[in-house]
Amino acid sequence: MLKNRIIPCLDVKNGRVVKGINFVDLKDAGDPVEQAKIYSDGGADEICFLDITASNENRDIIYDVVEKTSRKCFVPLTVGGGIRSVEDINKLLNCGADKVSINTAAVENSKVVIESSKKFGSQCIVVAIDAKKNGDKWEVFTHGGRNNSGIDALEYAKQMEQHGAGELLVTSMDRDGTQVGYDIELMSKISSKVNIPVIASGGVGNLDHLVDGIMLGNASAVLAASIFHYGKHSVQEAKEYLDSKGIPVRI
């Protein structure tokens, strides 16, 4: 039976982890390679890097980070943040990323999704959808949540599937950082709209939220950051909890 995945996400800025595991015994808490290795050894099903480097001159650092990580981590590595073109995707894949997650570029120029999924295969193209509720619908935001595209998130999800996305990483902007749980309605609506896997993101504060994301939101995978980083829970604990609720996980 296919297992539901748990994916810890690390924010990387100028090559350093800015929101990560806060363990005292870490040699270098800012080293993405070391953090990723801790997660993969601890049973993470995949690792996600979100590059939040703001300045253009430091953008190339992420390639070096990905290269070093992929030599040490033997679970899938997804890299997102700042991807603008098919060439950016090519470079990340060549450095050892297994998947890339595309956000703003997919909204602004859908050809990036169409061309890259044709060229590299749908399996490595994740479209990241940042959605915010407005009335009875959700709108897609870009540029790290700063710009409202006005596009309907459900329609957009379907369109990205048709363009060749292999997975959707859906983040609720209303919930992100709140720790009150995923936007279950958004997750389940998108999941039933498309036939590709949905990764739920944004709002996890406890292990029950992970359960809800899968059981109620119909997500194939759950992504979380802070509950793992600050030692609140380990990935292993999360898996054991999910398992106790009857959710198939890799233990």
Partner 1 sequence: MKVTIVDYNSGNISSVINSFKEVAKDKVNIEVTSDLNKIKSSDKVVLPGQGSFKSCVDALNKINGLIDTLNEFTISNKKPLLGICVGLQMFADVGYEETETKGLGWISGKVSKIDNQNGKYKLPHIGWNQIKIIKDSKIFKDIENNSHMYFVHSYEFIPENKKVISATTDYSSNIVCSVEKENIFGTQFHPEKSDKMGLKMIDNFINL
**From the list 124, 127, 131, 160, which residue makes contact with partner 1 (rule: CB under 8 A)?**
124
3-state secondary structure of 94: helix
Should residue 121 be labelled a site residue for partner 1 when binding is judged by CB under 8 A? Answer: yes
Nearer to partner 1, 13 or 239 (CB): 239
Fill in the per-residue mask, 144 to 183: x = in contact with partner 1 (CB under 8 A), - = not in contact: ----------------------xx----------------
1 binding partner 1? (CB under 8 A) = yes
- Local structure of 231: helix, strand or coil: coil
- Helices and strands in the chain, H and E counts: 10, 11
Q: How far apart are CA 198 and CA 31, in angstroms?
A: 29
**Annotated catalytic, 130?**
yes
Q: How many residues bind partner 1 (CB under 8 A)?
A: 32
CB of 54 to partner 1, least distance (A): 27
Contacts 24+ apart (CB under 8 A), 231-237: 231/21, 231/22, 231/23, 233/207, 234/42, 235/6, 235/8, 235/39, 235/42, 235/43, 235/44, 236/42, 236/43, 237/207
Indicate whether 195 belongs to the interface with partner 1 (CB under 8 A). yes
Catalytic position from the list 130, 176, 183, 212 = 130
Applying CB under 8 A, among 22, 58, 123, 178 the residue interacting with partner 1 is 123
Contacting partner 1 (CB under 8 A), which of 11, 31, 34, 45? 45
Residue 98 in the binding site for partner 1 (CB under 8 A)? yes
Residue of 49, 120, 156, 182 interacting with partner 1 (CB under 8 A): 120
Burial class (CB in 10 A: 0-12, 13-18, 19+), 26: middle
Q: Which is nearer to partner 1, 39 or 141 (CB)?
A: 39
Q: Which two tokens stand for residue 34?
A: 């070391």
Question: For residues 214 and 200, what is the distance between their CA atoms, to the nearest angstrom?
Answer: 8
Instruction: Name the residues annotated as catalytic.
Output: 11, 130
